[in-house]
Structure 1
């Protein structure tokens, strides 16, 4: 059961068997609360507060725990009691989790529909504060070979260079690609620029013999497929 410490109560005042690290060893990480897991990462509290109180403050500084994955080191350090060293540990743990998830997904993920593409991309792209243009490079079985962010910024035809995308596709021996970008506004509705860029890439892909299967726009936990909408 998660511990509820008073601000002046220190971790040394907690019975040894009930401390987070000891509980993790005895019962496994899955048995710990989010507060306790963060406390283990932080290691120590402050002079006047236990590490569990500090961990609770970290959690309370974000609307939901999923927001931790997009937090910057500066945002972690803005929490009272979290210095650069503790912030770096949190950031490293979050990044390791992302890489483990991404590697697991890449090894098995086959895209057969716009829903599959959106599911693959949604976790990383739905809460970004800037537009990111991402390309999935796939083999003849529609398995993801590689995912790459091509550029960051507002989408327009002047900055989307087909040669950069298809150079990478050739390098990866990709049979096809799926393009995607996010709308920080939350609405995935395509703009005229989105449609223009899509048509340019489809035409370039046809010349290269590398099919552009779709262009997916990610909003706030929702998406639109330009292929399904008839724009390609």
Structure 2
């Protein structure tokens, strides 16, 4: 369900406080009975962080709301959102992320990478306060997870890292040879792409 916003509400999002201010109002608009159930919303943003849409994709139980990737990214792709913010409420008022909250965020981060629509935050809200995955560093931690990274992507990543290490070793050998031949550090740095500091650290015996 796409939630209607006023022009004033389609503001440029500067921080998590801005999003919470809007989502708290939306939560309080719900019927009293529905406030005792978990809601899961997706907020789509333009490049300049202006809100494109807020969509309620799931209305669950008192402690669980489903968030399937297809539902999360469907409207975002239709409306060409470049990034999204996830948001769900905890009716209990407890803002600590559950393992399930972390797991679905981890999964959606990886789907976002595949469809080129970045997940930039996940807010857990109550009537009175909120927790931001981004502000607490949890989002960055989940971005490092490889649990939902496709196998072929991991293989490509490992190959790239191995190639970079091999190339670095070759460059170091070239630098050592240049230093043995008396080439000055600045010229070596310009020729190899290493920093002056990296070149200076390499100690060799000159010929």
TM-score bin, normalised by smaller chain: 0.5 to 0.7
Residue in 1 that maps onto 2:7:
104
Runs of 4+ in 1 over 6 A off after TM superposition: none
Specify every segment of 5 or more residues in structure 1 that has no aligned partner in the other structure, as ranges.
1-97
Q: TM-score, normalised by structure 2?
A: 0.58
When Rg is computed on C-alpha atoms for both structures, the one with the higher figure is 2
Paired residues, number? 131
Cα offset, 1:129, TM superposition: 1.6
Cα offset, 1:156, TM superposition: 5.8
Cα offset, 1:220, TM superposition: 3.0
Change (3 A) 1:202 1:156: farther
Residue in 2 that maps onto 1:115:
17
Secondary structure, aligned partner of 1:103: coil
Specify every segment of 5 or more residues in structure 2 that has no aligned partner in the other structure, as ranges.
140-207
Distance 1:156 1:163 in 2: 18
Distance 2:55 2:127 in 1: 21
CA-atom RMSD, angstroms? 2.1
Asked whether the equivalents of residues 38 and 60 of structure 2 are also in contact (C-alpha less than 8 Å), the reply is: yes
Residue in 2 that maps onto 1:219:
126
Which of structures 1 and 2 has the larger relative contact order (alpha carbons within 8 angstroms, sep 6+)?
2
Residue in 1 that maps onto 2:135:
228
Secondary structure, aligned partner of 2:73: helix
Asked whether the equivalents of residues 110 and 144 of structure 1 are also in contact (C-alpha less than 8 Å), the reply is: yes
